[in-house]
Amino acid sequence: MKKKVIFLVIIGLMLCGCSAEVNLEVTPSSINETVSITTNADSTYTKQNILEGFRNYMPIYNNVEIPDTEPDEPVSGVKYYDHTQEELSNGYKNVYSHTFDFGSYKNARTVNDAFRSVTIQNSSSQKTMLLSTDSGGLKSFNTYPGLETVKVNIKTDYKVIKHNADSVNGNVYTWYFSKDTKKGVYLLMSNTLDKEVEENEKETTTKKSEKKKSFIDQHPFLVAALGIIAFIILAAILSKIKIKG
């Protein structure tokens, strides 16, 4: 019987030329996860080996045992990732995706297979994602020697308070992992959407602007009268100065 194995931050095989990209999108109530594994063939592992090596049915939670079935079949009562496969010129790209409730993502198979500890918190004021490693780095690189790189992208419309991302592009925070990378993922978000902050600031500015305009708009004659009085007083002062001179 063939053994089909799973791999940590992503699901894959111990193949050469293997890279993984994890895309997470944080919404008010969920974390949408898409994991892409690109595997290239070589003299040892053919495209057929790669094709047969990936499971169509991968349980989403790390505490669910992966059935060693042949052929690959689902088991009643188990939740699985959605799986698609794309043939490349020299390999395959396998994509696994699922939408988790925000709190349940701490039990996702991917992050628990990759990181030493997983903290996902959602309070009334903040959302926290802390995926920790130790001096050994990601567990996946030890388990799967053929894995070369892992890239993690987290997209969020929430206001980010603190992070340790390697790069930021708009509202997408990115971490790059190799065998030598020891740090984890840290993202602290306010429970206020950036759009809400912008709208609130715009609304406040608009109200201040309207408040400034309202006195002039509502009392044009009074403003004009005050201007005339000020002009008369200034002319009288200048006239006295001229007489004295």
Domain positions in the chain? 18-193, 198-244
Q: Is the peptide bond before 28 cis (omega within 30 degrees of 0)?
A: no
Q: Is the pLDDT of residue 158 over 60?
A: yes
pTM summary value = 0.74
Residues 171 and 191: their CA atoms lie apart, in Å, by: 15
pLDDT in tens, 2-60: 344 333 333 444 445 689 999 999 998 899 999 999 988 887 778 888 888 788 899 99
Residues 198 and 220: their CA atoms lie apart, in Å, by: 33
Residues 237 and 243: their CA atoms lie apart, in Å, by: 10
Q: Is the pLDDT of residue 70 over 80?
A: no
pLDDT in tens, 161-216: 999 999 999 999 999 999 999 999 999 999 888 765 455 545 555 555 555 555 56
Give the number of other CB atoms < 10 A from CB of residue 132.
Answer: 13
Give Cβ neighbours of residue 132 (< 8 Å, ≥ 6 apart). Answer: 115, 116, 117, 118, 119, 184
With contact defined as beta carbons under 8 Å apart, do 60 and 66 qualify?
A: no
